[in-house]
Amino acid sequence: MQLLNHLKKHHLFFIFTGIILLKLFFTRLLLFDSYNIFQTIFVEIGYFLIIFALIELINSQKFKAIIYVLVDLLLTILFIAVLIYKGYYGYIANIYAFALLDQVGTVQESVVSLFDPVYLLLFVDFIILVIYAIFRRKTEELGNLNKNYKFLSGVLVIGVVLISLNIFSHKGEQIADSVLAAQKQGMFTYQIFSISNKAAAESALTQNEFAHLPQKIQKLKELNTIPQEELKFLGIAEGKNVIAIQVEALQDFTIGLKVDGQEVTPFLNELLKSSLYFSNVYQQIAPGNTSDAEFIFNTSLYPSPWEATAKTFADRDIPSLAKLLKEQEYTSITSHANDVTFWNRNELYPALGFDRYYDIEFFGKEDVIGIGPSDEVLYSKVMPELKKMYENNEKFYAQFVSLSSHHPFKIPATKEVIELPTEFDSSIVGNYLKSVHYADFALGKFVQELKDSGMWEDTVLIIYGDHFGLQPSAIAEGDFALLKELIGHDYHYLDQFNIPFIVTVGDQTIGEIIDTIGGQVDIMPTIANLLNLSLDDSVYFGQDLVNYPDNLIGMRYYMPVGSFYNSEITFKPKEAFEDGDAFNVYTNEVISDYSDYENDYNRILELMRLSDMYLNSLPIR
């Protein structure tokens, strides 16, 4: 009888508690491929018991119902956002990722393409609620019922106890994998730990630590300095103009790939014959994605693990390639055919030492593909600026950030210059290959212009991918079969994260493939060797891939914290080192006994910690 009384007085509480529980079960099933009823109740429901008990204190039944519906709608949108984010990035979004929602408008086409129709089931309750509201008696709908404060107090206590027990049971716990962390801790407690972990990681270096950091990094990386006279390719590009092309979503498996006898990247394939080609380089970006790749390339530092580095550290005085070249009297420019405020680049570029930048205001709305003007427009409109500097004997460093091969890879039919077999029709793999082919075509036109204008022989050209294009969690089952047919084995995260890095010195024919394991942090030190730029006493976390073949690099965000690549294996932990997965870095074969590499795991955690502390220690501009 007492239960019926509670049900009558607080019927909305029970209705919406049931609704949210069902949504939590469904969301956790999609996120984690399984759910446990008791675990879900224990780690998730406490927050809603507190929120709903407080809503029950509202006197007006009508206003109370509106608040319940708004909370339900907000949570539904939140759950869908988490599902989409995890579907593409493989990461459970934390509160800092949600702070980047202002970027969504620019990539809305990508977001829409990632929306799975099954997510619409989260809105079914709103249809039921409308029907329920229509058939309720008007007097009952608008009437006010006395509240049972004893019942509400009990609900509040239960909510507080559940949350407290959950937080206490996971206190001090460091789970490397964000998906596993959110599953065990609960999606909302996971947010609390994200905030506390970020706060704990915001320490800076002492003055003494700052002074000895270069030596400490070298010791952790176990590098022995090679005498200058023994350095291979030292200074072969010294004094030349530097052009760096960051190609959107370019993965290494596309290089040399043929489909039905057609080359996907014919220009790059030809370019390799006279270039240095680093075939085992991996992305190391974090939440800032493309802007993180720009940051890493220019600094050889690890990006922030919590927020886009361009947003968090663009107010700092950041040592960079542009500043090293400025000491050699270079002018530095950068070009991105989108709004420069996207990823806060209007602040990042000055922080990195670029003298000027070109964005959508310069390029206009001509020949738009996806989120900006085409790569052909990008290169052709900046070309006169390069010619002007060249004719004035002004040495320059020009960075280009391409856009046309951006997800969801929809190249207009007028630009589809590769004909794929019918099995690729309407597949994301087919669209991706077409977009890469177009990016390759536009890049080839640009290089031809450099040659025609007489600039090529005075140029060192650097080409690299910013990050993956094909995310396993965001492609269909049929696409996996297509990929296996293309690359000869099951698509692996080593394929996903492997990006090309190519260097061509215009007046030299090198034609060498270097298979040293490397990351984006290694690009700047490698270029510094070719340009004969001194990095003495500089803080950088990469190494020259030409002269230092033994390497240790880390990745986080897209892989669990503590993931690393060395010259033998790639490793990613789950909760910690003991329960991780290891693979041969060249063959993808599973390594069952990886116990000998625990030192590498600890070293990479320390290197990333030092990189974070270094960023925190940089002076405000």
Exposure letters 115-142 (e unless 16+ CB within 10 A, then b): eeeebeebeebeeebeeeeeeeeeeeee
Hey, what are 170's tokens? 């996971």
Q: Could you tell me which residues are annotated as the binding site for Mn(2+)? A: 248, 290, 466-467
Cβ 621 vs Cβ 314: under 8 Å: no
E-assigned strand segments in 368-435: 368-369, 372-373, 396-401
Q: Considering Cα of 503, then 508, then 514, then 518, what sign does the dihedral take? A: negative
SS3 450: helix
Question: How many Å apart are CA 165 and CA 175, to the nearest integer?
Answer: 18
Cβ 385 vs Cβ 357: under 8 Å: no
Q: Considering Cα of 151, then 156, then 157, then 158, what sign does the dihedral take? A: positive
Segments in 453-487 forming alpha helices (H):
477-487
Pairing state of beta strands 498-505 and 276-282?
antiparallel
Question: How many Å apart are CA 309 and CA 303, to the nearest integer?
Answer: 6
Cβ 373 vs Cβ 440: under 8 Å: no
Residue 191: Cβ within 10 Å count: 18
Closest CA to 152 of 142, 144, 160, 143: 160
> Counting every residue, how long is the chain?
621
Q: Could you tell me which residues are annotated as the binding site for substrate? A: 406
Q: Could you tell me which residues are annotated as the binding site? A: 248, 290, 406, 466-467
Closest CA to 197 of 219, 173, 180: 173
In angstroms, the first-to-last Cα distance of the chain is: 69
Closest CA to 86 of 78, 311, 605, 467: 78
SS3 465: strand
SS3 99: coil
Question: How many Å apart are CA 71 and CA 17, to the nearest integer?
Answer: 11
**Which residues make beta-bridge pairs with 401?**
246, 336
SS3 of 292-339: the string is HHHHHHHHCCCCCCCCCHHHHCCCECCCCHHHHHHCCCCEEEEEECCC
Question: How many Å apart are CA 256 and CA 520, to the nearest integer?
Answer: 21
Question: How many Å apart are CA 372 and CA 109, to the nearest integer?
Answer: 12
Pairing state of beta strands 552-555 and 512-514?
unpaired
Q: Indicate which residues carry an active-site annotation.
A: 290
